[in-house]
Amino acid sequence: TVFHEDAEFMVTMTADANIVQELIARTSDFPKLWNRGLQIPLQEFTANGLFTSSETSDDWKTGHNLLPRGFNQIKIKSFAPQILAKTRAFVREWSNFKAGHKVEHVNDWLTAMTADAVVSCSMGVDMRNVERLGAGQEAHKFVDTFRSGLGITVGAINARTEYGLKRFLPFFNASGKVAKKFAEVKKEMQKQVEDIVEATRQGEIGNQNSIIRSMLEDRDADGKHVRYGALYGHVVNIMIAGHETTAATLGFTMQLLAENPVYEARALEEVRQVLNGRTEPSVDDVPKLQFVEQCFREALRLYSPVTTITRDVAHDTLLGGHRVYQGERINLITRALHTNPEYWGGEFGDPLSFNPDRFSPEAVQNRHPNAYHPWGFATRACIGSQFALFEAKTFLASMLIHFRLQSIPGYKLVASTHGGGAAPSPEGLAFQVFPRPGGPLWSDKGLMQPLPAMSTPGSVKPGTGPVMKVLYGSNSGSSQDFASQVEAAAARSGFQTSLHSLNTAVVENLVVPDGRLVIIVTSTYNGLPPDNAGKFKKWLQAQKPNSLDGLNYAVFGVGNSQWHTYQQFPREIDAGLDSFGGKRLCDLGGCDVDGASFTSDFEDWLSNLLQTIGAGSSTPGPEEGIPGSEEFSLLTAPADGIKVLKSPEVVLQALADGKKEAAKLIGTTEVVDAHLKALEVVEPPRELCQKPEGRSVRHVTLRLPKGANYRAGDHLEMLPPNDPALVTMAMEALNLDKDSVVCWDHSKRQKKWRNLPLDEQLYAKMPTMHLPCELVMQWFPDLAVSPDRKVLAWLAEKAISPEAQEELRSLAKDAEKYKAKVSSLNVSLAEVLHKFKGFADVQLGEFLALAKSIGTRRYSVSSSPLAPGADPSTVTVTVGQVKFTTGTGRVHYGLASTMLGQLPVGGCVPGMVRTLQSDFHLPDDKSAPIIMIGPGTGLAPMMGFLQEREALLKKKEKLGEAILFFGCRSRDQDYLYEKELEAHLKSGALSTLHVAFSREAGEKVYVQDKIWEHRADVWSVLSHPKSVVFICGDARAMAPDVKRSFQRVIESCGGRSNSMAANLLASMVEAGRYLEDVWA
What is the per-residue pLDDT for 380? Answer: 82
Rounded Cα–Cα distance for residues 706 and 678 (Å) = 10
What is the per-residue pLDDT for 922? Answer: 96
- Helices marked H in 124-244 — which ranges? 129-134, 141-154, 159-163, 174-201, 211-217, 231-239
- Helices marked H in 874-1014 — which ranges? 895-902, 940-954, 978-987, 1007-1013
pLDDT at 221 over 90: no
Comparing 924 with 852, the larger pLDDT belongs to 924
Q: Which of 68-72, 865-869, 998-1002 holds the top average pLDDT?
A: 865-869
Q: How confident is the model at residue 313 (pLDDT cuts 50, 70, 90)?
A: very high
CB of 713 within 8 A of CB of 945? yes
pLDDT at 71 over 60: yes
DSSP helix/strand/coil, 957: coil
Comparing 731 with 42, the larger pLDDT belongs to 731
Rounded Cα–Cα distance for residues 871 and 709 (Å) = 11
CB of 916 within 8 A of CB of 526? no
What is the per-residue pLDDT for 798? Answer: 92
Q: Which of 65-74, 699-708, 850-859 holds the top average pLDDT?
A: 699-708
- The residue-averaged pLDDT of 216-228 equals 74
Angle at 561 between CA 558 and CA 565, to 5 degrees: 80
* Portion of the chain with pLDDT greater than 90, in percent: 46
Q: 558 vs 530, 571, 849, 1036, CA distance in Å? A: 11, 11, 21, 16
What is the per-residue pLDDT for 617? Answer: 52
Nearest to 766 by CA among 861, 895, 851, 651: 651
What is the per-residue pLDDT for 235? Answer: 79
Residue 849 backbone phi and psi in degrees, to 5? -70, -30
Comparing 63 with 364, the larger pLDDT belongs to 364
Rounded Cα–Cα distance for residues 648 and 742 (Å) = 14
What b/e readout covers 635-659, taking b as 16+ CB neighbours within 10 angstroms?
eeeeeeeeeebeebbbbbebbbebb
Rounded Cα–Cα distance for residues 425 and 109 (Å) = 12
End-to-end CA distance of the chain, in Å? 70
Q: How confident is the model at residue 841 (pLDDT cuts 50, 70, 90)?
A: confident
For 1061-1071, the pLDDT digits (tens) are 988 998 898 78
Nearest to 31 by CA among 336, 327, 383: 327
For 422-433, the pLDDT digits (tens) are 678 999 999 999
What is the per-residue pLDDT for 7? Answer: 67
pLDDT at 452 over 60: no
For 902-935, the pLDDT digits (tens) are 888 998 999 989 876 668 999 999 999 999 999 9
pLDDT at 623 over 50: no
CB of 941 within 8 A of CB of 713? yes
- The residue-averaged pLDDT of 319-326 equals 93
For 817-830, the pLDDT digits (tens) are 888 898 888 899 99
- The residue-averaged pLDDT of 90-99 equals 90
CB of 370 within 8 A of CB of 44? no
Nearest to 125 by CA among 10, 64, 51, 207: 207
Rounded Cα–Cα distance for residues 707 and 909 (Å) = 17
What is the per-residue pLDDT for 456? Answer: 32
Q: Which of 45-59, 328-342, 757-771 holds the top average pLDDT?
A: 328-342
What is the per-residue pLDDT for 753? Answer: 43
For 941-955, the pLDDT digits (tens) are 999 999 999 999 999
- To 10 degrees, what angle do helices 245-259 and 290-302 make? 100
Burial of 840 by CB count in 10 Å (0-12 exposed, 13-18 middle, 19+ buried)? exposed
DSSP helix/strand/coil, 428: coil
In which region does residue 221 sit, left (phi positive, over 0), alpha (psi from -120 to 50) or beta (all else)?
alpha
pLDDT at 457 over 60: no
pLDDT at 624 over 60: no
Comparing 617 with 897, the larger pLDDT belongs to 897
pLDDT at 471 over 60: yes
pLDDT at 1079 over 90: no
Rounded Cα–Cα distance for residues 292 and 266 (Å) = 9
What is the per-residue pLDDT for 445? Answer: 65
Average per-residue pLDDT for the chain: 86
What is the per-residue pLDDT for 208? Answer: 62
Comparing 43 with 445, the larger pLDDT belongs to 43
Q: 736 vs 695, 780, 853, CA distance in Å? A: 37, 15, 19
Range list of β-strands (E), 801-924? 857-860, 874-880, 883-885, 891-893, 908-914
Q: How confident is the model at residue 462 (pLDDT cuts 50, 70, 90)?
A: very low
Strands 496-501 and 467-473: what pairing?
Answer: parallel
pLDDT at 279 over 70: yes
pLDDT at 197 over 90: no
pLDDT at 526 over 70: no
- DSSP character for 1051? H
What is the per-residue pLDDT for 954? Answer: 94
Q: Residue 778 contacts by C-beta under 8 Å, 6 or more apart in sequence?
A: 721, 722, 724, 727
pLDDT at 238 over 70: yes
Nearest to 151 by CA among 245, 45, 47: 45
For 742-788, the pLDDT digits (tens) are 999 887 775 444 344 445 556 667 889 999 999 999 999 999 988 98
What is the per-residue pLDDT for 894? Answer: 78
Rounded Cα–Cα distance for residues 149 and 44 (Å) = 10
What is the per-residue pLDDT for 459? Answer: 35
Nearest to 80 by CA among 483, 386, 309: 386
For 983-1027, the pLDDT digits (tens) are 999 999 999 999 999 988 778 899 999 999 999 999 999 999 999
Nearest to 287 by CA among 364, 393, 399: 393
What is the per-residue pLDDT for 414? Answer: 93
DSSP helix/strand/coil, 615: coil
What is the per-residue pLDDT for 788? Answer: 84
Rounded Cα–Cα distance for residues 787 and 834 (Å) = 13
Rounded Cα–Cα distance for residues 880 and 896 (Å) = 10
Weakest-pLDDT range from 191-205, 333-347, 613-627, 1003-1017: 613-627
